[in-house]
Structure 1
Amino acid sequence: MFLKSSSRPLAGVLARATLSLVAAATFAIAAPAVAQQKVLKFVPEADLRSLDPIWTTAYITRNHGYMIYDVLLAVDEKFDVKPQMVDKWEISADKLTYTFTLRDGLKFHDGSPVRSADCIASIERWAKRDVFGQKLGDMTESWTAVDDKTFRLKLKQPFPYVLDALAKPSSNVPFIMPERLARTDAFTQVTEAIGSGPFKFVKEEWVPGSKVVYVKNTDYKPRSEPPSWGSGGKVVKVDRVEWIYIPDSATAAAALNAGEVDWWQQLPPDLIPLLSRNKDVKVENVDPLGSIGLLRFNHLQPPFNNVKLRQAVLAAVNQQDYALAIAGDPKSGKPCASYFTCGTPLANDAGSEALTGKRDIAKARQMVKDSGYKGEKVILMTATDQPIVHSQALVTSELLRSIGINAELAASDWGTLITRRSSKEPIEKGGWSIFHTWFVGPDMVNPALNSPLRGAGEKSWFGWPNDPKLEELRDAWFAAQTPAEQKKMAEELQKRAFETVPYVPTAQFIIPTAYRTNITGIIKSPVTFLWNVEKK
């Protein structure tokens, strides 16, 4: 079972008629077929800027990945690991060798078969960027192809989290690409989107800032099991999916109300009453664990490379302010003073008094002065097309100024923010100081999955904290032999995090989705999947 307890590892305009009679006749024949196509019009959470779900953890790119790629293993709603592209696997008696065999009929969108070499290259690239993949990479002696359908992992020592790592459900997901693409350096973006998944990306119709188009992959062979989270049969029930990017919330709501779009992935809390009054629209929470907001510092550049200044910000944070700003209702947002998703086994309160204690702005202002901060400009990035991000940034902007920090709000769209956050330059050369984001609950349940909790410097997630003690405690969690030992290590790791502040957890919340009532088959999951969705 994947992470179930701390004892276990774990997405027009018709062609113009020409003067040619032949072309006119062709149009007359083709038009009915086009009209009969089922087209799902979906408003995604953000604009798709990067096509590479290994290069970035952005959920919009992860969701794009799930449209076109497939995975070796997946987890279901019970957190159990299930085969996906893999037909079967075997584990040697000494727990050092894992042998995987692919199921029949797998092929990429360019018509080439999926081979062991593709799987190996994809996993090796993923393991250089992903927080869980890096740990698996440390434990790996070799990956070898037995033949085109069978490949083998040899470990340096037993590592009981192998299957859980390969079944990781959220960013970064170990998607399988053709070997020629997977050989791309892990820190360079892949620009060609060729997978073996249930949808094909139509690059010719991609208009950044406007629309992304996918069509059904008629060559895809779904598994026979019913869908459950990312596992089971990925049966596509529409012919075409159009992601329509609408950055203005009021415009998106009007489009959904009028039936111009079918599904709006994330709606801001202030528009829930408006959409709920429409009998042809359903507003629903489909994420069982909710999400965790966070405030991320740049640990490489001044002034937040100074732990005392990070501690001063932590001392001023009131999670209730963020919960209400994000969710608008105490029923949908709440404080969660843990570095692990509240309501899951490793959530704890060790060290949390740094966040739960009485907010004392005067004390925080003094901490800022004591840190040696001299009024340097701080760049707080925000994305105005992302309500979850922007609402947090507005709270933080006011908070920083209240404690004497010279904060400048740098507004852009989400696509620009996720590109800028990769910069390690000082702010005068396009760098940054703080940004906000969020992770779905399953991404934060333990040290194996919690990307921003790494302290590995350049190998860490954006912000790049360097904390050897944090890494040591993370390794101790992996080495723990019992649930009690894992719980203790998680508490020690959290205590350290509240001391060095790699990031600040802001709130736990749910953001509902809204869709037309003629849409059925939406899978309840922390990740938005578009297979199994039917339009009547």
Structure 2
Amino acid sequence: MRLRRSGLIATAAALAVSMVLAGCGGSDSSNNSSNNNTPGGDDSSPSPKTGGTITVLTGTTPDSLDPGLGNNVQSTSANWLTHLGLVSYKHEAGPGGYELIPALAAEMPTISADGLKYDFTLRDGIKYSDGTEVKASDFIHTVERAFKLDWSGKGYLLSIKGAENYDAGKADKIAGLTADDAAGTLSIALTKPYGALLSILGLPAMGFVPSSAPLEVDITVPGVGPYELTDASDPTKSYSLSKVATFADNNIPEIPLGNLDKITFNIVSNNQSAATTVLDGNADVFDAHDQLPPGLLPQIEAKAKDRFALRQSNAVFYFWMNSQAPPFDNVKVRQAVAQAISRPALAKLSAGQLTPECYYLPENFPGHSSNPCPWTTADGEAKLDDAKKLIDEAGVAGTKVTVWGQQRSPRKEWVEYMASVLDELGFDADVKTLSDSVYYPTVGNEETKSQIGTASFEANFADPYALYIALDPAFATPTNAYNLAFAKDKKIGDELAALAEKPISDPSTVDEWMALDEYATEQAYHATFGVLAYPQFYSERLVFDEGVFHANFANDWSLMTLK
């Protein structure tokens, strides 16, 4: 989202996302639930039932339940409710979920005319879950802690004055962050305008922690939110969110108090087992960011149609190709792979949960190209003969290639499909699949020298840059890389830096994004193949129509209600 200099968020980006979400398969008005369990809620609507415990089966382990480090949705959907920041995202389904609202800040900030200074005032009397009072200087500690923990999104914050020096160990403090605890005020000074800053401040990694919080991983660090983390001695197996009874005393408008007393998350990497368990009523929620086994989908649609829907996402699925490792350091080889895959075949492996796509910016998202896909025929099929000619020109036939992926369906099937395509192109391909908990740390480590594999990336705010982190050279980090292709393309880096300062509401900016996406598609660091629909799938114990499927965080645990 882009700022308006009055200090209110821009609406144009949210409108752009409404085009993505409107008219999507399975999305209906029942997902725009109204729930008045918030301070200042609408007293005319009936209060939802409160209390009780549910069990969620999640296929992926949270990468970290420390708010300053967690990045995957299994982490952020929990940390969003345990650690509020200055601003937060509205608890609404659809494009309304991208709207920013004041959280610990009393109101949206005052922004200088040149866009270089943001001034905030905190609400009075806010307390952490352990009863400690929130101070303005805690924000400085929160940001500096995210750098010390090496949060993978810290590149978002480098426009703050002094942040680069702090990150490089050349300064003890971030010069652009100042706070007055007595007045409850704080300021952020930037080196250049950054239109997405407020959206970044709404991410869970910017959720306040006390200044006493250690500069090392600590999942028990207190926060401000309707829930706190409990039962987390081994989050690779299970963990819980328990309601914070004192949170209501903070009286923060539009932030739900939470309906359920407790939400327990059990890690079940076998999505067939997880889906069957929810279908049979022995667990309550299937992980929305997992995929339903294609063979089970017809049974779910028949037996659970009143508690199941597919919700359109902007999650882009692609094969990344390591541009720093042979044979994919050759652009002709990358282009050959992009032409050789059949996107309809990959969609078929997903049983209709995937819409074929060629460009990295998905259809109806700002900057999506209206030009035909350069890698497919008019009917969307592969150009295998053209691909084979490029491999001949590159002289790499016979090269051993390992295709990396996750073990669960249909990711495993996608990887096997890619290996068969590479064999057809003349490579000697094999497959290496890993559990979800270790896959991204492994392929995101430069020393692994992984060659090719599957990944997905999802925008957590309505700006193309939210997706383009996965191609930003700044995020081709030696460990925990977002840019799994390790694409260090100067043209992409320079244009991203320039576009970061421009409002997405400007049609010329959209055109620039389109041109950049066409260039990146031509370079084929990614072979994009589809956009996913996510399952909202509950047991009969929950009120399905009260469930809110959030644009950033999928299932909103704070609004779920038992019958």
Same fold by TM-score greater than 0.5? yes
**Deviation digits for residues 112-149 of structure 1 (CA, Å, limit 9, x no counterpart):** 33322322232345576327714534797601112263
Alignment RMSD: 3.3
Match in the other structure for 2:198: 163
Question: Which residue of 86, 107, 110 maps to 1:72?
Answer: 86
Residues 281, 516 of structure 1: 8 Å contact kept: no
Match in the other structure for 1:50: 64
Match in the other structure for 1:83: 102
| SS at structure 1 position matched to 2:264 | strand
Match in the other structure for 2:12: 5
1:444, 1:400 → 2: CA distance? 35
Q: Does 1:276 align with 2:301?
A: yes
Residues 6, 483 of structure 1: 8 Å contact kept: no
Q: CA offset at residue 339 of structure 1?
A: 2.0
1:350, 1:125 → 2: CA distance? 44
Q: Does 1:334 align with 2:358?
A: no
Q: Does 1:347 align with 2:381?
A: no
Residues 52, 190 of structure 1: 8 Å contact kept: yes
**Deviation digits for residues 449-491 of structure 1 (CA, Å, limit 9, x no counterpart):** 4321313364462422100111122223234467222022112
Match in the other structure for 1:201: 229
Match in the other structure for 2:37: none
Q: Does 1:116 align with 2:151?
A: no
Q: CA offset at residue 240 of structure 1?
A: 1.4
Residues 199, 461 of structure 2: 8 Å contact kept: no
Structure 1, unaligned stretches of length 5 or more? 11-35, 227-231
| SS at structure 2 position matched to 1:519 | coil
Q: Quick one: structure 1 residues 57 and 366, their matched pair in 2 at CA, closer, same or farther if it must change by over 3 Å?
A: farther
Match in the other structure for 1:146: 180
| SS at structure 2 position matched to 1:535 | coil
1:299, 1:457 → 2: CA distance? 14
Letter in 2 for 1:91: I
1:501, 1:507 → 2: CA distance? 15
**Deviation digits for residues 41-73 of structure 1 (CA, Å, limit 9, x no counterpart):** 111242335334654632222223224222322
2:327, 2:370 → 1: CA distance? 28
Residues 54, 173 of structure 1: 8 Å contact kept: yes
Match in the other structure for 2:558: 531
Query: In the TM superposition, what are the counterparts of 1:186-335 in structure 2 within 5 Å?
Result: 192-206=220-234, 208=236, 210-221=237-248, 232-266=254-288, 267-278=292-303, 282-285=307-310, 287-326=311-350, 328-329=351-352, 332-335=353-356
Q: Quick one: structure 1 residues 198 and 408, their matched pair in 2 at CA, closer, same or farther if it must change by over 3 Å?
A: farther
| SS at structure 1 position matched to 2:316 | strand
Letter in 1 for 2:295: D
**Deviation digits for residues 196-234 of structure 1 (CA, Å, limit 9, x no counterpart):** 2222212555352x32222112222388788xxxxx322
Match in the other structure for 1:399: 421
Question: Which residue of 426, 433, 449 maps to 2:451?
Answer: 433
Residues 339, 387 of structure 2: 8 Å contact kept: yes
Letter in 1 for 2:82: I
Q: CA offset at residue 273 of structure 1?
A: 2.5
**Deviation digits for residues 371-422 of structure 1 (CA, Å, limit 9, x no counterpart):** 243644333222223x353343233222222212332211221002122123
Match in the other structure for 1:19: none
Residues 222, 234 of structure 1: 8 Å contact kept: no
Q: Quick one: structure 1 residues 486 and 4, their matched pair in 2 at CA, closer, same or farther if it must change by over 3 Å?
A: same
Residues 280, 516 of structure 1: 8 Å contact kept: no
Q: Quick one: structure 1 residues 322 and 310, their matched pair in 2 at CA, closer, same or farther if it must change by over 3 Å?
A: same
| SS at structure 2 position matched to 1:511 | strand
Residues 473, 483 of structure 2: 8 Å contact kept: no
2:123, 2:463 → 1: CA distance? 31
Q: CA offset at residue 530 of structure 1?
A: 0.4
Residues 421, 462 of structure 1: 8 Å contact kept: no
| SS at structure 2 position matched to 1:304 | coil
Q: Quick one: structure 1 residues 194 and 223, their matched pair in 2 at CA, closer, same or farther if it must change by over 3 Å?
A: closer
Letter in 1 for 2:469: S
2:67, 2:388 → 1: CA distance? 40
Q: Quick one: structure 1 residues 180 and 419, their matched pair in 2 at CA, closer, same or farther if it must change by over 3 Å?
A: farther
Q: Quick one: structure 1 residues 204 and 97, their matched pair in 2 at CA, closer, same or farther if it must change by over 3 Å?
A: closer
Residues 118, 182 of structure 1: 8 Å contact kept: no
Q: Does 1:477 align with 2:511?
A: no
| SS at structure 1 position matched to 2:246 | coil
| SS at structure 2 position matched to 1:476 | helix
Q: CA offset at residue 508 of structure 1?
A: 1.4
2:210, 2:439 → 1: CA distance? 29
| SS at structure 1 position matched to 2:119 | strand
Residues 346, 445 of structure 1: 8 Å contact kept: no
Question: Which residue of 497, 514, 528 maps to 2:537?
Answer: 514
Q: CA offset at residue 109 of structure 1?
A: 3.5
Residues 471, 483 of structure 2: 8 Å contact kept: no
Letter in 1 for 2:247: Y
Q: CA offset at residue 507 of structure 1?
A: 0.4
Matched residues, number: 489
2:161, 2:525 → 1: CA distance? 23
**Deviation digits for residues 314-338 of structure 1 (CA, Å, limit 9, x no counterpart):** 1212222222222x12xx4322222
Letter in 2 for 1:165: I
| SS at structure 2 position matched to 1:108 | coil
Letter in 2 for 1:284: A
1:49, 1:162 → 2: CA distance? 24
Match in the other structure for 1:504: 527
Match in the other structure for 1:40: 54
Question: Which residue of 360, 372, 391 maps to 2:383?
Answer: 360
Q: Quick one: structure 1 residues 131 and 503, their matched pair in 2 at CA, closer, same or farther if it must change by over 3 Å?
A: farther
Letter in 2 for 1:509: L
Residues 312, 532 of structure 2: 8 Å contact kept: no
Structure 2, unaligned stretches of length 5 or more? 3-9, 18-49, 164-174
| SS at structure 2 position matched to 1:273 | helix
1:533, 1:501 → 2: CA distance? 42
Residues 60, 436 of structure 2: 8 Å contact kept: yes
TM-score (structure 2 length as normaliser): 0.77
1:61, 1:67 → 2: CA distance? 10
Residues 367, 517 of structure 2: 8 Å contact kept: no
- Share of identical aligned residues, percent? 19
Q: CA offset at residue 310 of structure 1?
A: 1.5
Query: In the TM superposition, what are the counterparts of 1:482-501 in structure 2 within 5 Å?
Result: 483-501=506-524
Match in the other structure for 2:115: 95
Match in the other structure for 2:124: 104
Residues 106, 123 of structure 2: 8 Å contact kept: yes
Residues 193, 501 of structure 2: 8 Å contact kept: no
| SS at structure 1 position matched to 2:557 | coil
Q: Quick one: structure 1 residues 118 and 377, their matched pair in 2 at CA, closer, same or farther if it must change by over 3 Å?
A: farther
Higher relative contact order, chain-length normalized (CA < 8 Å, sep 6+) = 2
Q: CA offset at residue 340 of structure 1?
A: 1.4
